Amino acid sequence: KAGVTQTPRYLIKTRGQQVTLSCSPISGHRSVSWYQQTPGQGLQFLFEYFSETQRNKGNFPGRFSGRQFSNSRSEMNVSTLELGDSALYLCASSLELAGNEQFFGPGTRLTVL
Amino acid sequence: GDSVTQMEGPVTLSEEAFLTINCTYTATGYPSLFWYVQYPGEGLQLLLKATKADDKGSNKGFEATYRKETTSFHLEKGSVQVSDSAVYFCALKYTGTASKLTFGTGTRLQVTL
């Protein structure tokens, strides 16, 4: 069974640009959560999607958004990039909403110059 | 708010030494507790979990017991191997509400021959 996949693995952007990251959950998993990992702030929850609806949201500005498709694949978008958005963005999937067993992908390393 | 505190790293041990990584939490309710491990260049892997007080989670020789009286979930292993070198994250989550995990800052473990 394939694990959680994230594309691209690495991304370099400049300030002011926007970026879209993609996450494909484990087959059959319906919930997708996103996390930002930085050396300064650690791992922080961004949002969770289930059945194509955002169900929970962390404390991030509106520049961070996401969506989920009918096949459970999810994308997150960051607009008007800032230097502080440089981070590893991790996606996690679980069978159901609020599932205890969450499986993480390898992450997308975003660098903002 | 809820928070997780882990001991500062890095922790450097010789192979076959005993490992303890301390984790304490502050929570308003009764969360489930987790240990995740992150190997270089990879995402997070669930190592073990405990969902209620006095539960012991165990996996691959690692153990942790959910201690409600001391709000702790310390990770232990009797004999570490070089392959255990990684960053270990303690986390909490409330069952049935959201997939949001609240993480500690992580503890880097380095095991030498």
Per-residue pLDDT of chain B (113 residues; tens, 9 = 90+): 889 999 888 999 999 999 999 999 999 888 999 999 999 888 899 999 999 999 999 999 999 999 999 999 999 999 999 999 999 999 999 877 677 899 999 999 999 99
| Mean pLDDT score, A30-41 | 94
pLDDT for the residue A71: 95
A83 touches chain B (CB under 8 A): no
Cα separation of B112 and A52, whole Å? 47
Cα separation of A71 and A73, whole Å? 6
pLDDT for the residue B22: 97
Cα separation of A98 and A77, whole Å? 22
Interface size between A and B, measured as CB pairs under 8 A: 57
Q: Is the pLDDT score of A76 beyond 80? A: yes
Lowest mean pLDDT among A49-53, A89-93, B38-42: B38-42
Cβ neighbours of A54 in B, within 8 Å: none
CA distance readout (Å), A87 to A35, A107, B96: 10, 10, 29
Structure tokens at B55: 């539960």
pLDDT for the residue A98: 77
The Cα of A89 is separated from the nearest Cα of chain B by a number of Å equal to 10
Q: Are strands A87-94 and A64-68 parallel, antiparallel or unpaired?
A: unpaired
pLDDT for the residue A1: 67
3-state helix, strand, coil in chain A (%, to 5): 5, 55, 45
Residues in a beta bridge with B96: none
A97 touches chain B (CB under 8 A): yes
Residue type, A98: A
Residues 6 or more apart whose CB falls under 8 angstroms from that of B67 comprise B53, B54, B73
Cβ neighbours of B97 in A, within 8 Å: 56, 98
pLDDT for the residue A2: 79
The Cα of A17 is separated from the nearest Cα of chain B by a number of Å equal to 26
Cα separation of B12 and A33, whole Å? 33
> Do residue A33 and residue B99 have CB atoms under 8 angstroms apart?
yes
Residue type, B4: V
Residues in a beta bridge with A10: A109
Q: In Å, how far from its chain's centre is CA A77?
A: 9
Q: Which of residues 12-41 of B touch A (CB under 8 A)?
A: 32, 36, 41
Cα separation of B103 and B9, whole Å? 15
Q: Nearest CB to A42: which of B36, B99, B105?
A: B105
> Do residue B41 and residue A106 have CB atoms under 8 angstroms apart?
yes
Q: Specify the residue for token string 């929970």.
A: A56
Q: Is the pLDDT score of A113 beyond 80? A: yes
pLDDT for the residue B32: 93
A103 touches chain B (CB under 8 A): yes
The Cα of B98 is separated from the nearest Cα of chain A by a number of Å equal to 4
Residue of chain B whose Cα is closest to the Cα of A88: B43
